[in-house]
Chains A and B, each alone.
Chain A
Amino acid sequence: MSRFLGLLRRHAWAFALVLAIALLIANLMVSPNFLSPARLPATLATLAPFVLVGFASTPSILSGGVDVSVGPLATFINCLFVAVLLPSGIGDWYAAIPILLLTAAGIGAMTGVLVAVVRLHPVVASTGVLFVLIGLSITISKSPVSATPNWSDPLAQSFGWIPGALVTMGVVALGWFFLRRTAFVANLLATGESDVSAYGSGVNVTAVRILAYALGGLFAGIAGIALSALLQSSQSSLATTYALLGLAAAVLGGTALGGGKGGLLGTFFGALVIYLLQQLLTAAGVQPSLVQFAYGFALVVGVLVGATLLNSRRVRSRA
């Protein structure tokens, strides 16, 4: 038992993994064909936006800040693609993907500049950007616009035998895998742990922060594409739903909100836990209101367990 606890303590993502496995088993018991090959692409496609929005909020948290605007950024990219690019005839993949991703990364970098250069509190800066993005999304498409047939459809189905959602999530995971081998992620974690020490060690704290938010923006752009693939319409009303979901996924996955600890793997399992919990309760015929209650409860319990059982350092009071 103590070895098990030790394992959970060493790996921040292990707790979310254990929860996800338990929920997966429960899901299989309620609906035995949950993982059947025929349903898998569709299941993964509904999971992808959750996971990607979670990924998007992770780099900024690792840098010691927080970005509440990544969810609305994903829905803004969704509206931009479906309601602007497709009708105006530049919706082909070779034109749309660079435009969408550059826009998303640029908006992320702008938030980063507000945090690192203008030196606003991260919550303030991203709340301001959140208002602007929600406003822009509603301006672009007040009511849902249906998408004309386009290239993004297979991303929610499958390319041959590969589920399309694996492509969107895989691109981000692969990118992060290589970034981990660069100095950037090491500097990012150092900045999050203690920006003063990182600054003293010669890390360009400002540049690292801006890059972290830009990276989050880029991931949010991919989330927006995955969302468009899933919905095939523009849904500006989803912005507030997704606003805080990514944050919850990252934190459930063991990423410390103070920064400096965690990674995308934990966020993946965190998002998986939230998704599986919702699926399980919906499949078991529980009312939507209780699903929301359970989501909040899981978040509270997850944070409490992470702060007490899994905290290897002795719990000190705030003094």
Chain B
Amino acid sequence: MTEPTTSATRALTLPQPEPTGWPRFRDWALRTPFVQVVVLVALSALLVVTIPAFLVRPQAGIAVLTIAALLALASMGQTLVVIIGGLDLAVAGYITFGAMIASNATSRLGWPVSLAFVVVVLACGGVGATVGWLCHRFRIQPLVMTLGVGAMLTGGSMFIASGDYNGQPPAELRALAQLNGTTFGLPFPPIIGIVALLGVGLWLFLAKTAAGRRLYATGVNPVAANFARVKTSVVWTAVFAASGALAGLAGVFIAAFGAGWSQAVGDPYLFAGLAAVLVGGTTFGSVRGGFTRTALGALILTVLSTLIVSRGLSEAQGRIVYGIIILAVVALYGRERHVRDRF
């Protein structure tokens, strides 16, 4: 009888030694949003150096935080959808609908703010749930389905409002998101606190509950998840419903922030929201995704665009930088496996 543990079998059966030094650091840096934090700190430092006024006047910093909070809220649902391996292109439609209800239903029909919130969350959530269920049931790529639904929502919102873009959200709603708002006497608008609370809740849900783990399982491998008795159809329905409800909510706050709406109010948030998700490091069907990363992505993009504007570059050049940043960050650690390795 020969020695049972040759070097080949030993490599297969015995646990690998813990990596040390650089490989260990690299593993850790890829598991945590380390790169994002470093980039954010560097960009913020650059911002403070170029515009020293940021130290003197805290309002400027609060403005950046508010815009980042709106972007983070708009991309919160997209994060969940991307984790389960889908894509929601209806975000712009949900935002337009939410902004329309917040501006027109309150000022023209006299709805109270709470009713506007409930209607937006229920309507957008219901539409999202339908989309998620249909996509799962009939194996439709959510890309096309949400594209169509987004156009329906935008067109429908414009039709309901019948070309009336002059509605204004009531003062108590505007106080939630406008820059001169206060939270319990503190000098920042409540939207920052609301998004932070939602973010903590979402983190707890994703990282600490069984339902959150089921979501990751569905994204990584739906077939395996099904065998593990995860009801993937429920996951898909719930995630798309959440995406719709959160984007609609973002629309309400975006209308409050901008004191009104237009037919194109959601458009910038569709691709910028996707950019925030991707720059944060959540990739399609990945276990590393999460809202913490998206919030960091939204902050990076907002600080970056503030920096770009302050350096006298135009918005157009900002877009170019956006594109390059997305490609660079995802190339750093969002790469897929070579077909050779899946063979």
Contact = CB atoms under 8 A, between A and B. Distances in A.
> Do these two chains interact?
yes
A282 interface: no
Contacts of B340: 199
Interface residues of B, number: 66
Given A120-B336, A131-B322, A244-B147, A300 B152 contact: yes
A319 B151 contact: no
Interface stretch (A5-13, A152-160, A164-172, A310-318): A310-318
Nearest to B225: A319
Contacts of B323: 127-133, 135
Interface of A: 66, 114, 118-121, 123-125, 127-139, 142, 195-196, 199-200, 205, 240, 244, 247-248, 251, 257-258, 287-300, 303-304, 307-308, 311, 315-319
Nearest to B89: A244
Contact of B151 (A127, A129, A240, A295): A295
A258 B141 CA distance: 8
B109 interface: no
Interface stretch (B47-55, B130-138, B202-210, B245-253): B130-138
A121 B336 contact: yes
Contacts, number: 185
B155 A296 contact: yes
Interface stretch (B4-12, B31-39, B166-174, B324-332): B324-332
Contact of A289 (B159, B271, B314, B322): B159
A295 B155 contact: yes
A131 to B, nearest CB: 3
A247 B327 contact: no
Contacts of B274: 127
Given A258-B141, A292-B158, A300-B148, A127 B343 contact: no
Nearest to B270: A240
A120 B330 CA distance: 7
Contacts of A251: 144
Interface string B144-166: 11011111111111110011000
**7 tightest CB-CB pairs across the interface, nearest first?**
A296-B151, A131-B323, A293-B155, A299-B148, A135-B319, A292-B155, A289-B158
B316 A139 contact: yes
Interface centre among A124, A288, A297 (most CB of B within 10 A): A124
B271 A131 contact: yes
B316 A319 contact: no
B87 interface: yes
A296 B284 CA distance: 25
Given A127-B326, A293-B155, A299-B147, A142 B316 contact: yes
Contacts of A121: 283-284, 330, 334, 336
Contacts of A289: 155-159, 163, 263
B143 interface: yes
Contact of B143 (A257, A287, A290, A308): A257
A11 B327 CA distance: 38
Contacts of A119: 335-338
B126 interface: no
Nearest to B331: A118
B125 to A, nearest CB: 18
14 contacts: A118-B327, A118-B335, A120-B327, A121-B336, A123-B143, A127-B274, A132-B320, A136-B320, A138-B316, A139-B317, A139-B320, A300-B152, A303-B140, A319-B222
A199 B343 contact: yes
Interface centre among B147, B222, B263 (most CB of A within 10 A): B147
A257 B271 contact: no
Contacts of A128: 323-324, 326-327, 330
Contacts of B59: none
Given A118-B331, A121-B330, A318-B226, A132 B148 contact: no
Given A139-B314, A318-B136, A125 B327 contact: yes
B339 A127 contact: no
Interface in B226-262: 226-227, 232-233, 236
A307 B158 contact: no
B57 interface: no
Given A248-B144, A298-B148, 20 more contacts: A66-B143, A114-B331, A118-B335, A124-B278, A124-B283, A127-B271, A127-B278, A130-B271, A131-B323, A135-B320, A138-B319, A139-B317, A196-B343, A247-B147, A295-B148, A295-B151, A296-B151, A297-B152, A300-B145, A315-B137
